[in-house]
Structure 1
């Protein structure tokens, strides 16, 4: 990327290689929910060709209410090409055969790699802004991200402060409890909100299955459940009523919180809302006078 080139054509290099864009893309298509959320914040609706089906599902998406105004497409190279995109934005998990088929059809393919970090996607938003000809909007959005994170950081104990509470983030599927260890979005959210990820502290990296006894050993002050529906309620109730956990502070003090999953699992700027919500949970007195709001989609204003 040559930031000094503010005109067109533009050359952009991602992990998928170098592409040349003759002008601002008019039929943008992405292959991940995180990229859909970012593009909706950067580009006007008329330039977005379609959205993936998960973008319209409120259990997964932070922008589900925006989805009905767009066509929905299914996965697969044929379905991608049917949308006539003039740029195809993929993630690191997009299969190589799909990418190659789309490339062979002459569509520029970019792979801005999303990261498991609350701030890590600032660089990707700026890159997307350059690719889409939306540099000014990208600068506005990244400035808002930094401002919101700094506003939280100014009210919570700094990293290393012994007053930081121990927190874990868990889900349960098919009777298996999984925890967010070090190097995950959940871990970053906890740390940015003023907590200590007890799983990372105890040497767990990535997403791992754990037992109730492991939760006892971590002895968390707070437990977050980024899951929705009956499964989340049942998990919370089971933890509250498990005799093994009867002395754990989060159980004793009723600090087991079901939180909105998309704020915690989608790799986009919306993880900042996860930071804000977690900070409210951990330090309610420090945020009693603060009203957090959702990010706004692109309005052109």
Structure 2
């Protein structure tokens, strides 16, 4: 009898627990959506964030085209510079402008409902913000086009715009497909080898982002033919050995010569060390804004690949227009 009573009591308690459980919701059930960042941290949202603080180089580009300036709380000042930013015009509509590095104290005063930071951000800073109740989403740093596409998808989920993220990635693929279709008609004998040069020297480590950018533009990256440590630069002697068909320079670069400011193009054309270069002899020197090959770590990399390909092979792109053009080239 006692055993029967115990069984009845256990069953009764179980039913009571189930009945009570129906009126309770877990944190995930209350959330509109939950995402996981690059460090494995789960972040839940009851509504889409509307005071977003995107930090880093490429993340603000992505967030801007997902949400518009209305949901962005603040941006570093340099995003209003068309030379290095793809979103300069839109960035001007964001009310608060900050320095490139924002102290935690300032972030706290801004009261963001979501902060997106690059993977290499200060971990102590991240944990401090989280301990103060700020949602921090860590974004994996992309090193190639596929990783950029994944970055777009990750960020789009974090800001509650997953479908828009898929559309942006599809737009990237359309641009890459157009480049592939156009460049497939270029004879092998006309394929070019390019070398990117900055004030510090030539760059383009094999397997790096610029190397992959060249791959998608169907151009050979001259620096990719030698072993280079990440961040290393190639001096004049190395540039001469590489014998590029085309030299790529940033339009903003200026060098000193005879106490006068001259463009980097003019400097290279008149440097005796470069007289044997095919690029110099044929005057195949291209100047593009930095954003098209030095700071391109967002979905605008697809546009950068198109601009690079059309600059190196202009005769094949005269009658073409990039699908879903994301931004024009600023003069």
TM over 0.5: yes
* Aligned match of 1:14: 37
Unpaired runs of 5+ in structure 1? 297-301
Q: Distance in 2 between matches of 1:163 and 1:203?
A: 26
Within the candidate set 74, 80, 83, 2:110 is matched to 83
3-state secondary structure, aligned to 2:65: helix
Call closer, same or farther: CA 1:263–1:8 in 2, change over 3 Å: farther
Which consecutive segments of 4 or more residues in structure 1 shift more than 4 A? none
Count how many residue pairs are aligned between Structure 1 and Structure 2.
287
Call closer, same or farther: CA 1:217–1:36 in 2, change over 3 Å: same
Q: Distance in 2 between matches of 1:82 and 1:178?
A: 42
* Aligned match of 1:196: 220
Q: Distance in 2 between matches of 1:146 and 1:53?
A: 31
* Aligned match of 2:263: 234
1:22 Cα shift? 2.1
Q: Is residue 256 from structure 1 mapped to residue 256 from structure 2 by the alignment?
A: no
Matches within 5 A, 1:149-298: 149-157=176-184, 164-172=191-199, 176-231=200-255, 234-264=263-293, 265-292=295-322, 294-295=325-326
1:48 Cα shift? 1.4
1:132 Cα shift? 1.4
1:229 Cα shift? 4.5
Q: Distance in 1 between matches of 2:283 and 2:192?
A: 14
3-state secondary structure, aligned to 1:213: helix
Q: Distance in 2 between matches of 1:233 and 1:38?
A: 35
User: Residue 27 of structure 1 contacts residue 85 of structure 1 at CA under 8 Å; is this kept in 2?
Assistant: yes
* Aligned match of 1:72: 97
TM-score by length of 1: 0.87
Q: Distance in 2 between matches of 1:237 and 1:178?
A: 16
TM-score by length of 2: 0.80
3-state secondary structure, aligned to 2:44: strand
Q: Distance in 2 between matches of 1:53 and 1:267?
A: 18
* Aligned match of 2:21: none
Q: Distance in 1 between matches of 2:120 and 2:141?
A: 10
* Aligned match of 1:299: none
CA deviation map 1:129-175 (0-9, x unaligned) = 112121221111111010001110111149xx675321111101xxx
Unpaired runs of 5+ in structure 2? 1-27, 256-260
Could you say which structure has the larger radius of gyration?
Answer: 2
1:276 Cα shift? 0.9
1:224 Cα shift? 0.7
Within the candidate set 88, 93, 110, 2:120 is matched to 93
1:244 Cα shift? 2.4
3-state secondary structure, aligned to 1:194: coil
Q: Is residue 45 from structure 1 mapped to residue 45 from structure 2 by the alignment?
A: no
* Aligned match of 1:120: 147
Q: Distance in 1 between matches of 2:254 and 2:275?
A: 23
3-state secondary structure, aligned to 1:33: coil
1:247 Cα shift? 2.1
Q: Distance in 1 between matches of 2:225 and 2:190?
A: 15
